Homo-oligomer: A and B are copies of this chain.
Amino acid sequence: MSTPRHGRTRKPPAARRAEILTAAVRIALGEGLDRITLRAVADSLDVRPGLVHHYFPAVEDLIVEAFRTAAATERSALFEATGTPLERMSRLLTSLTGPQAQAGHRLWSSARHISRSSAAMAMAVEELEELGRAQMTELIREGMGSGDFGDVDATATCVRIYMAIDGFGAYANSPLPFGHEAYEFFVADVAEWALDLARGTLRARASRGATGTTVERS
**Complex CA distance for A170 and B171, rounded to whole angstroms:** 11
Copies of this chain, complex-wide, total 2
Cβ-defined contact, B183 with A113, below 8 A: no
Known A-B contacts A165-B167, A169-B170, A186-B160; A113 and B122 likewise in contact (beta carbons under 8 Å) = no
Q: A174 touches which one: B122, B175, B190 (CB < 8 A)?
A: B122
| In the complex, A176 has a CB within 8 A of chain B | yes
**Complex CA distance for A89 and B47, rounded to whole angstroms:** 57
Q: A160 touches which one: B110, B115, B126, B189 (CB < 8 A)?
A: B189
> How big is chain A's contact interface, by range?
35 or more
Contacts of A166 in B (CB 8 A): 166-167, 170-171
A113 to chain B, nearest CB (A): 5
| In the complex, A116 has a CB within 8 A of chain B | yes
A67 to chain B, nearest CB (A): 14
Which A165-203 residues sit within 8 Å CB-CB of chain B? Answer: 165-171, 173-176, 180-183, 186, 189-190, 193
Cβ-defined contact, A155 with B180, below 8 A: yes
**Complex CA distance for A167 and B122, rounded to whole angstroms:** 17
Q: A126 touches which one: B122, B159, B176, B189 (CB < 8 A)?
A: B176
Contacts of A86 in B (CB 8 A): none
A9 to chain B, nearest CB (A): 34
By CB atoms of chain B within 10 A, which of A109, A174, A182 has the most? A182
A34, closest chain B residue (CB): B113
A186, closest chain B residue (CB): B163
| In the complex, A112 has a CB within 8 A of chain B | yes
| In the complex, A104 has a CB within 8 A of chain B | no
Cβ-defined contact, A168 with B163, below 8 A: yes
The list of the 3 closest CB pairs from A to B, nearest first, reads A167-B167, A156-B182, A166-B170
Known: A109-B113, A112-B171, A159-B180. 4 other contacts (CB 8 A): A112-B173, A163-B167, A167-B167, A190-B190
Instruction: List 16 A-B pairs, Cβ < 8 Å.
Output: A106-B116, A112-B174, A113-B113, A113-B173, A115-B173, A115-B174, A119-B175, A122-B175, A126-B174, A159-B182, A163-B170, A164-B190, A165-B167, A166-B170, A166-B171, A170-B170
